[in-house]
Structure 1
Amino acid sequence: MRHKSAGRLAAVASAALMLLGGAATSAQAAAPGLVLYSIDFSNPKERDNNDLPEPYGRIWLEAPWGRQTALWEHPDVDLNTPTLPRYPDDGPYTTRYVDHPVTQVCAFVGEDDTGINEDDVLADGCVPVDGSGSYTISTDEGSVTVNLYDV
């Protein structure tokens, strides 16, 4: 009886390690290292003077065990939240060093509508990362697209 329980436990542990090992291997191909990226903010409901979003919040890359590396952060400063349809706004991409494997990109980004209507939520959640590409996190009110050029 004892050998059967130990055998089952070993089989379950082996299967779990295989699953974790496969996930870690594909994620490790995506990091650690230098990440080249840009971010696009979209709010189709924006209707002020320039029709461009004023995003605030946080966007980050996440490891399988929850470790995070921020790609972009900005507080909500009401009337002083800057207009930013794209980050960086002065070049095609920016870089960040990530010292862990990357399995997902996450974002919680609001859009400031002080004095016009309620703030919109552009992104709230995470999507899996599978190497370079564009990853969009969206809500009914807008979206954030993280373009990973070299992961």
Structure 2
Amino acid sequence: MRFKSVGRLAAVASAVLLLLGGAATSAQAAAPGPVAYSIDFSNPQEQDDNNLPEPYGRVWVQAPWGQQTALWEHPDVDINTPTLPRYPDDGPYSVRYADHPVTELCALVGEDDTGINDDDTLAAGCVPVEGPGTYTIPGPDGSVTITLYDV
């Protein structure tokens, strides 16, 4: 009877080690560290004075267990939401430190429309991160494109 219990315990321990080994491998591929990025906001329906979006919301990177690091965020301040077609607007890229593995890139970004129009949704959702590259998160009214230069 004791041998059966030990055998089951060994089988469970082996399965756990296999699972942890796979998790460690994927965590090593996207280890904690600096994230260099830029963000482009697109709203093809924008038809105000400058034809540029006034985005608000949040863009972030996420760990497998849900921990998040914000890359960009701005509140909706109605008529005072600034025009921002690209972030950062004063350089080629920005850098944030993520103290967790990065496996997803997420965005929930609206676009302020004043007057009789409802606000647009530029991006809503997450995409898997497989390293540096360009990732687009679509929404019903536009998209947000994030370029990861280093992750």
Provide TM-score, normalisation by structure 1: 0.88
Residue in 2 that maps onto 1:141: 141
Confirm or deny that 1:35 pairs with 2:35: yes
Aligned to 2:115: 115
1:17–1:48: structure 2 CA closer, same or farther, 3 Å change rule?
farther
**1:144: how far off?**
0.8
How far apart are 1:136 and its partner, in Å? Answer: 1.0
CA RMSD of aligned residues (A): 2.1
Q: Per the alignment, do residues 142 and 100 of structure 1 end up closer, same or farther by CA in structure 2, a change over 3 Å counting? A: same
The one-letter amino acid of 2:65's match is: W
Once residues 125 and 80 of structure 2 are traced to their aligned partners in structure 1, the CA distance between those partners, rounded to angstroms, is 26
- 1:35 deviation in Å? 1.1
Aligned to 1:65: 65
Q: Distance in 1 between matches of 2:90 and 2:40?
A: 13
Structure 1: distance between partners of 2:109 and 2:48:
19
Q: Is the contact between residue 133 and residue 149 of structure 1 (CA under 8 Å) also seen in structure 2?
A: yes
Count of residue pairs brought into register by the alignment: 151
Q: Which residue of 1 aligns with 2:51?
A: 51
Between the aligned partners of 1:88 and 1:33, the Cα distance in structure 2 is: 20
**Contact 1:24/1:101 (<8 A) preserved:** no
Select the structure of larger CA radius of gyration: 2
Shift in CA distance, 99/52, structure 1 to aligned 2, threshold 3 Å: same
Could you say what secondary structure the match of 2:36 adopts? Answer: strand
With 22-31 and 97-106 compared, the bigger mean Cα shift is at 22-31
C-alpha deviation, 1:18, in angstroms? 3.0
Amino acid at match of 2:80: N
Aligned to 2:18: 18
Please give the alpha-carbon distance, in whole angstroms, between the structure 2 residues aligned to 1:53 and 1:33: 31
Q: Partners in 2 of 1:6 and 1:115 — Cα distance?
A: 71
Distance 1:65 1:115, change over 3 A: same
Q: Is the 8 A contact 2:61 2:102 kept in 1?
A: yes
Please give the alpha-carbon distance, in whole angstroms, between the structure 2 residues aligned to 1:108 and 1:40: 14
Structure 1: gaps spanning 5 or more residues: none
Distance 1:114 1:134, change over 3 A: same
Aligned to 2:105: 105
Q: Mark the CA change 1:147 to 1:2 in structure 2 (over 3 Å): closer, same or farther.
A: farther
Q: What is the distance in 2 between the residues matched to 1:9 and 1:143?
A: 50
Give structure 2 stretches of 5+ with no counterpart. Answer: none
1:25: how far off?
Answer: 2.0
Structure 1 stretches of 4+ with a deviation exceeding 6 A read: 1-6
